Amino acid sequence: MITSRNNALIKNIKKLQQKKYRLRESRFLIEGVHLIEEALAADVGIDMLVKSEEAPLLPFDIGEHRVVEVEASVFTTLSETQTPQGWLAVCKMPTDTPMIEGDVLLLDGLSDPGNVGTIIRTAEAAGMAGIYVSEDTVDLYNDKVIRATQGALFHIPVVAGNLKTIVFSLQEKGIPVYSTAAHAECSYQDVQPRQAYALLLGNEAQGLSSELANITDQTVSIPIFGKTESLNVAVAAGVLMYGWLNQREEQR
- pLDDT in tens for each of the 252 residues of the chain? 999 999 999 999 999 999 999 999 999 999 999 999 999 999 999 999 999 999 999 999 999 999 999 999 999 999 999 999 999 999 999 888 777 899 999 999 999 999 999 999 999 999 999 999 999 999 999 999 999 999 999 999 999 999 999 999 999 999 999 999 878 889 999 998 888 999 999 999 888 999 999 999 999 999 999 998 889 999 999 999 999 998 887 776
- Total Cβ atoms within 10 A of residue 239: 16
CATH code for residues 8-92: 3.30.1330.30
- CATH 3.30.1330.30 domain position(s) in the chain: 8-92
List, by residue range, all CATH 3.40.1280.10 domains of the chain. 104-251
Per-residue burial over 11-27, b if 16 or more Cβ lie within 10 Å, else e, is eebeebeeeeebeeeeb
Rounded CA-CA distance 134/126 in Å is 21
- Is 104-251 a domain of CATH 3.40.50.300? no
